[in-house]
């Protein structure tokens, strides 16, 4: 029997980094569900669709093909066969992705896709609603959190390291995360919320190594790895 380890939490909390490191340590694969919404957002922009053209966005979400190469060291994501792994992290996508991901029909499409991607595999799946909606029966549920200030600083430092959105100031990153927090928490469906049976890991003031260790402890207490 395959199992799912759900890791949910707000933007900039380090879900991606932590999930990847833990997966490497434990020999699992990770599925970044935010990437599916980002990929659709690339398609929305490329097709010149405006954010208020909800019907067009829904239609597009049913037509496009999103694929992930999960077994690679760095998971890659493809939109209609084209590698958009770097493109999905750019700033125009950050600004558009929240309203796109708030559309009910879009969520239904993406949740279906996310479940298919996980089928038959032992995975760490990270997002906002994995423990509540996508896999409410996940074997392990972890909710990562950290203060807004710390998340903005981590994202800012990450941008400086990767070169993606390097020109954004700390204040701009802070405002962008604050807006996304509000949108993520107030979505009518699929809102960011800690599942009742999720274990809270507050990463504020902790090093990445401490957070990885804690997450691995939680996982090992629930599954025999």
Chain contacts with ligand DC (rule: CB under 6 A)? 11, 33-34, 37-38, 97-98, 101, 127-129, 180, 184, 190
Cβ of residue 41: shortest distance to ligand DC, in angstroms?
8
The smaller minimum CB distance to ligand DC, of residues 102 and 212, is found at 102
Strand, coil or helix: what is 124? strand
The smaller minimum CB distance to ligand DC, of residues 42 and 199, is found at 42
Cβ of residue 103: shortest distance to ligand DC, in angstroms?
10
**Cα dist. 128→25, 48, 55, 69, 204 in Å?**
23, 27, 24, 21, 18
Burial 143-152 (b: 16+ CB within 10 A, else e): bbebeeebbb
Cβ of residue 191: shortest distance to ligand DC, in angstroms?
8
SS3 string of 77-93? EEECCEECCCHHHCHHH
The smaller minimum CB distance to ligand DC, of residues 27 and 196, is found at 196
Cβ of residue 11: shortest distance to ligand DC, in angstroms?
5
For residue 74, the 8-state DSSP code is S
The smaller minimum CB distance to ligand DC, of residues 139 and 183, is found at 183
The smaller minimum CB distance to ligand DC, of residues 37 and 174, is found at 37
β-strands 4-8, 123-127 pairing: parallel
β-strands 4-8, 82-83 pairing: unpaired
Sign of CA dihedral 126, 114, 97, 77: positive
Contact 98, 142 (CB under 8 A): no
Cβ of residue 184: shortest distance to ligand DC, in angstroms?
5
């Amino acid at each position: 029997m395959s199992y799912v380890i759900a890791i949910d939490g707000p933007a900039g909390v380090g879900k991606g980094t932590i999930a990847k490191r833990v997966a490497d340590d434990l020999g699992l694969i990770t599925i970044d569900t935010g990437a599916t919404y980002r990929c659709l957002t690339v398609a929305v922009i490329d097709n010149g669709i405006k954010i208020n053209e909800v019907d067009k966005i829904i239609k597009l979400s049913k037509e496009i093909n999103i694929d992930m190469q999960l077994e690679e060291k760095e998971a890659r994501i493809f939109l209609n066969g084209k590698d958009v792994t770097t493109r999905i992290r750019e700033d125009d996508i950050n600004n558009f992705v929240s309203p796109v991901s708030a559309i009910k029909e879009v969520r239904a499409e993406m949740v279906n896709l996310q479940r298919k991607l996980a089928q038959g595999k032992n995975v760490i799946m990270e997002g906002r609603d994995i423990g509540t909606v996508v896999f409410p029966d996940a074997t392990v549920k972890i909710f990562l959190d950290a203060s807004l200030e710390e998340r903005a600083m981590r994202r800012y430092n990450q941008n400086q390291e990767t070169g993606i959105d390097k020109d954004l100031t700390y204040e701009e990153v802070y405002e962008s995360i604050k807006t996304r927090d509000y949108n993520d928490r107030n979505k009518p469906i699929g809102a960011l919320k800690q599942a009742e049976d999720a274990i809270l890991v507050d990463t504020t003031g902790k090093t990445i190594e401490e957070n990885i260790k804690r997450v691995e402890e939680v996982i090992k207490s629930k599954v025999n790895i």
